């Protein structure tokens, strides 16, 4: 299995919500286009776990699931039937796992045991609420996941990934996020545009010399340029063409979304970095708004994964 490929084996949390269906539709479309597989995890109150192959155009199941299906209660059989209807026309292998742990823990545990290369979750924007909350389960998955999490908003499902916008900042971890994006480009021949969004909304206090604000903004531009220069250097080492852009605006999430629309991006890639004992999104408070606003899936990449890919690449370079 292509362990650096986020579409090789996607785990999806499955219930009967619209967000769950959105995540499943996105995951199945990407898995079919990019030759992957799906594991749909349904967390049940039943004390008996089960793993069932789901019929699809991906080939006949490895065993007859009917005896096992007859043992399921009505609720779990209904979830299986709904899943079957959603995937029956896709040429992708699909499994359904019935877990007995908590919702987020069940999804994360399944991702570990199945050696998932990504997790898919769905969200929906709530109009009138300034700060978008992705929901307790999805938020817990985002916080604890050790593989990329593909977050898709309703009506933003994409059939394939051809062009990707990569949001980076001047933090140290952005160099390792570059490795993930370049691996994605190499595996699927996607076009990459790296962007650093500079927030120009912060104005110095009236008592502060106006030149301070100019100096601060100039420093941000210098750091952004250095970050993008490093990305171009790493891309050139691998023979990958890379577009870069420094964008300025009042809100980083709005800026990134506008660029994604302009270039017709199929996905936005961002990272999350270490804060104490936890990891969270590299854009901080604006990440929620990015997920809410984006017209395409947002792929959130754990820094520890990106660093591992970077280390593997460096070892290969040294031994070559």
Q: Which two tokens stand for residue 84?
A: 């079957």
Token pair belonging to 40: 């749909």
Question: How far is CA 4 from each of CA 116, 180, 301, rounded to the nearest angstrom?
Answer: 10, 8, 11
Cα torsion 156, 161, 163, 168: sign: positive
- CATH numeric code, 9-127: 3.40.50.620
302/110 Cα distance (integer angstroms): 18
- Same CATH fold, 163-319 and 9-127? yes
Instruction: Specify the DSSP element, H or E, that contains 20.
Output: helix 18-33
Q: Which helix (H) or strand (E) holds 198?
A: strand 191-199
The model's pTM: 0.84
Report the C-alpha gap between 232 and 245 in whole angstroms: 11
Angle value at C-alpha 286, between 280 and 292, nearest 5 degrees? 100
b/e string for 85-116 if b means 16 or more Cβ within 10 A? ebbeebebbbbbbbbeeebbebbbbbbeebeb
Q: Where are the domains of the chain?
A: 9-127, 163-319
**Proportion of the chain in helix, strand, coil states, percent, rounded to 5:** 40, 25, 35
* Count of Cβ atoms closer than 10 Å to residue 252 Cβ: 25
Distance CA 223, CA 108 (A): 36
Length of the chain: 320
The two structure tokens encoding residue 55: 């019929």
CA atoms of 179 and 275, how far apart (whole Å): 21
pLDDT per residue rounded down to tens, the chain (320 residues): 554 689 999 999 988 888 889 999 999 999 999 999 999 999 877 767 889 999 898 877 788 888 888 888 888 888 899 999 999 999 999 999 988 878 889 999 999 999 999 999 988 654 433 333 455 678 788 888 999 999 998 888 998 999 999 998 766 556 768 888 999 999 898 999 999 988 776 555 555 555 544 666 777 788 888 889 999 999 999 999 999 999 888 888 889 999 999 999 999 998 875 554 444 444 455 566 788 889 999 998 887 665 555 444 444 443 44
Q: Which CATH superfamily is domain 163-319 in?
A: HUPs (3.40.50.620)
Tokens of 99: 């877990």
């Amino acid at each position: 299995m292509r362990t650096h490929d986020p579409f090789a084996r996607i785990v999806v949390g499955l219930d009967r919500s619209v967000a769950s269906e959105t995540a499943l539709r996105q995951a199945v479309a990407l898995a079919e286009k990019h030759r992957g597989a799906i594991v749909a995890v349904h967390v049940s109150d039943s004390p008996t776990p089960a793993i069932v192959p789901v019929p699809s155009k991906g080939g006949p199941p490895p065993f007859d699931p009917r005896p096992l299906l007859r043992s399921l209660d009505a609720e779990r059989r209904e979830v299986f039937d709904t899943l079957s209807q959603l995937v029956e026309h896709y040429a992708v292998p699909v499994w359904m796992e019935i877990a007995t742990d908590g919702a987020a823990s069940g999804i994360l545990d399944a991702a570990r045991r199945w050696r998932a290369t990504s997790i898919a979750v769905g969200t929906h924007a709530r109009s009138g609420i300034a700060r978008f909350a992705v929901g307790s389960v999805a938020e817990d998955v985002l916080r604890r996941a050790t593989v990329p999490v593909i977050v898709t908003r309703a009506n933003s499902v994409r059939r394939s990934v051809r062009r990707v916008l990569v949001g980076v900042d001047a933090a140290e971890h952005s160099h390792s996020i570059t490795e993930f994006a370049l691996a994605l480009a190499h595996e699927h021949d996607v076009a990459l545009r790296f962007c650093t969004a500079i927030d120009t909304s912060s104005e110095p206090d009236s008592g502060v010399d106006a030149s301070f604000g100019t100096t601060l903004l100039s420093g941000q531009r210098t750091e952004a340029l250095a970050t993008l220069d490093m990305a171009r250097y790493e891309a050139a080492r691998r023979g990958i063409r890379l577009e870069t852009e420094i964008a300025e605006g009042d809100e980083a999430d709005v800026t990134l979304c506008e660029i994604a629309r302009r270039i017709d991006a199929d996905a936005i890639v961002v990272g999350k970095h270490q804060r104490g004992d936890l990891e969270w999104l590299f854009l901080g408070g604006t990440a929620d708004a990015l997920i809410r606003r984006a017209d395409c899936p947002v792929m959130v990449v754990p820094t520890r994964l990106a660093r591992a890919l970077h280390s593997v690449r460096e070892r290969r370079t040294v031994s070559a």
